[in-house]
Amino acid sequence: MAQKATLGDDVFERLLDLIYSCELPPGAVVNESVLAARFSVSRGPVREAVRRLQGIQLVSREPFMRARVITLEPRAVRELFEMREALEGYASRLAAQRMDPADVEALAAGLDHNRRIGLGADDRQSPAETFDFHERIVRASGNARIVDTLCGDLYHLLRLYRRWSGSAGERRSIAYTEHRQIVLAIRNRDGELAESLMRSHIARAAENVLRHLPASAEAVGTDADVSAA
Amino acid sequence: MAQKATLGDDVFERLLDLIYSCELPPGAVVNESVLAARFSVSRGPVREAVRRLQGIQLVSREPFMRARVITLEPRAVRELFEMREALEGYASRLAAQRMDPADVEALAAGLDHNRRIGLGADDRQSPAETFDFHERIVRASGNARIVDTLCGDLYHLLRLYRRWSGSAGERRSIAYTEHRQIVLAIRNRDGELAESLMRSHIARAAENVLRHLPASAEAVGTDADVSAA
DNA sequence: TGAGCTATAAGTGTCAACAATTCAGGGAGC
DNA sequence: GCTCCCTGAATTGTTGACACTTATAGCTCA
């Protein structure tokens, strides 16, 4: 099915999954040869995939040293969410200026729909809708560069942090209210307000993730090694 | 001298130079084999360098197609500067909150120094000081992720656009005034104002670059080819 | 016993050949 | 005369082997 892309892209996805599933826990050594053997592939594609992960800053890198999956340091979390505040806030402002009226209504409708569906169900419902909401607004900014940065690189990291910190399904009803306010601001074409609301929204989400960080961030994955596979 | 890094890094720098100097003009085909021969190196390092350039979106990329240096489309310029507005604006706000008082004074002093030096000289003086000013503020934000994005990837592109559009040395005295206002806002710890001023400053710079774009952006480099070397 | 040095092993960087895919040109068919 | 397909050449993707760098473990020496 997804056999259309190149091997490097494939390995990239699989590596991402390995990291998501904590099979490659934070701090784990990323060994090109071992991974190549595991995926039944040469070191070339693996190397390429690892370099891409290094580009996202999902694994650390210095020339001849071995690469490691990043750890869950509060500082890195803070920096990631600050960057999201800057970029997504600005994207919201742009969206308020540029978003198609029909798309605004579709966004609002989708939001209500998700609320009705998710209300009675368990509270840990898929964070997919959250990503969907944010992604829609980001895409509405009409800036491909910002879209690529947020929806490509940064969201990988974001999902990772939420998963690692176990703070996924929380704050759902609060988030709904905040999302709704943002939509209203966009509908009113109030870019200033939309940006401000989005920033607050993300800042609160950051606090939530930070509160759920494992006590000793380092201990999670230090000395873990992929060769256990 | 700079023979410490890996070959891939080296080729990356040299490729960047080639693009800066328009030896690889916008739209030019980036041929791995040709470049490898030119640099007396295997295709591996070249491949790696090209992938990095693709990560910066400095050359386009689709799986099996040949890569090309990006062209000078107004849309891409607009998107780049919007992203800078978002990121550098936010960085200015953070800098106002976090910058060391001594560093603020040093920044102000450096600004005045550059002005005194550059005033009598030619107006096309090095844009290095501009980059230096912006880079200092960005670094003062204390957010390594934002610093890497702005000072690493985006500034390559920015330099490129300024060079291609020939809008380098303009706006110097105006820029000085704007820079000075930003420093004052930071000194007063007024993050809100610093962000606003930085955004306006960048927006004006964007207009300046856009105004200097060659009439038909496409015509500059279409069908140009590196194999002429 | 512990600090520092040395050899060995592990891992990354680089290379040249091979396979898979796309692009360009010409010829057949309508 | 135009379109479509087919074939050959150019280019990218992939592979396994080799070279160089770093880290680990053992050894010597205080």
B50-70 pLDDT, tens digit each:
999 998 889 998 889 999 999
- Return d(Cα A32, Cα B37) in angstroms, integer: 27
Instruction: Please give the pLDDT value at position A4.
Output: 62
pLDDT in tens, B203-216: 999 998 888 876 54
Asked if B41 and B133 sit in the same domain, the reply is no
Instruction: Please give the pLDDT value at position B153.
Output: 79
- Does A19 reside within a domain? yes
A217-221, B68-72, B167-171, B192-196: which has the minimum mean pLDDT? Answer: A217-221
Structural domain count, chain B: 2
| pLDDT score of A6 more than 70 | yes
Backbone angles phi, psi at A127, to 5 degrees: -75, 5
Cross-chain residue pair A144–B82, CB shorter than 8 Å: no
| Min Cα–Cα distance to chain A from B190, Å | 17
Q: Which run of H or E residues covers position A8? A: helix A7-20
Instruction: Please give the pLDDT value at position A162.
Output: 80
Residues of A in contact with B144 (CB under 8 A): 79
Sign of CA dihedral B110, B114, B117, B120: negative
Asked if B93 and B134 sit in the same domain, the reply is yes
Cβ of B47 near strand D (under 7 Å)? The reply is yes
Cβ of A228 near strand C (under 7 Å)? The reply is no
Cβ of B60 near strand C (under 7 Å)? The reply is no
For the segment A22-51, the average pLDDT, to the nearest whole number, is 95
Asked if A63 and A79 sit in the same domain, the reply is no
Cα dihedral value A202, A206, A209, A211, nearest 10: -130
Asked if B82 and B179 sit in the same domain, the reply is yes
Asked if B68 and B80 sit in the same domain, the reply is no
- Does B198 reside within a domain? yes
CATH of the domain at A48: 1.10.10.10
Instruction: Please give the pLDDT value at position A228.
Output: 33
- Does B1 reside within a domain? no
Residue B6 · residue B41 · CB < 8 Å:
no
Instruction: Please give the pLDDT value at position B158.
Output: 86
Cross-chain CB nearest to A146 (options B55, B82, B91) = B82
| Min Cα–Cα distance to chain A from B123, Å | 32
User: pLDDT-based confidence at A226, cuts 50/70/90?
Assistant: very low
Cross-chain residue pair A83–B149, CB shorter than 8 Å: yes
pLDDT in tens, B150-191: 988 788 888 888 887 766 666 777 888 999 999 999 999 999
Strand C nucleotides below 7 A of a protein CB? 11-17, 21-23
| pLDDT score of A160 more than 90 | no
User: pLDDT-based confidence at B116, cuts 50/70/90?
Assistant: confident
- Which of B's residues 12-51 have CB atoms within 7 A of nucleic strand C? 41-45, 48
CATH of the domain at B140: 1.20.120.530
Burial of A27 (0-12, 13-18, 19+ CB in 10 A): buried
- Does B59 reside within a domain? yes
For the segment A10-29, the average pLDDT, to the nearest whole number, is 94
| pLDDT score of B33 more than 80 | yes
| CA to C1' distance (Å), from A32 to C2 | 36
A215-219, B164-168, B170-174, B192-196: which has the minimum mean pLDDT? Answer: A215-219
Cα dihedral value A192, A193, A199, A202, nearest 10: -150
Asked if B68 and B107 sit in the same domain, the reply is no
| Min Cα–Cα distance to chain B from A62, Å | 10
| CA to C1' distance (Å), from A33 to D27 | 31
Asked if B58 and B119 sit in the same domain, the reply is no
Residues of A in contact with B78 (CB under 8 A): 143
- Does B28 reside within a domain? yes
- Domain with A151, as residue range(s), is 74-211
Cβ of A29 near strand D (under 7 Å)? The reply is no
Residues of A in contact with B55 (CB under 8 A): 52, 55
Asked if A206 and A169 sit in the same domain, the reply is yes
pLDDT: which is higher, A128 or A221: A128
| CA to C1' distance (Å), from B105 to D5 | 72
- Does A81 reside within a domain? yes
Beta strand extents in chain A (DSSP E only): 29-30, 59-60, 67-69
Asked if B165 and B94 sit in the same domain, the reply is yes
The residue behind tokens 């960085």 is B91
Cβ of B32 near strand D (under 7 Å)? The reply is yes
- Does B68 reside within a domain? yes
Asked if A140 and A174 sit in the same domain, the reply is yes
Instruction: Please give the pLDDT value at position A225.
Output: 37
- Does A2 reside within a domain? no
Asked if A198 and A161 sit in the same domain, the reply is yes
Cross-chain residue pair A63–B94, CB shorter than 8 Å: no
| pLDDT score of B123 more than 70 | no
Cβ of A33 near strand D (under 7 Å)? The reply is no
- Return d(Cα B172, Cα B77) in angstroms, integer: 20
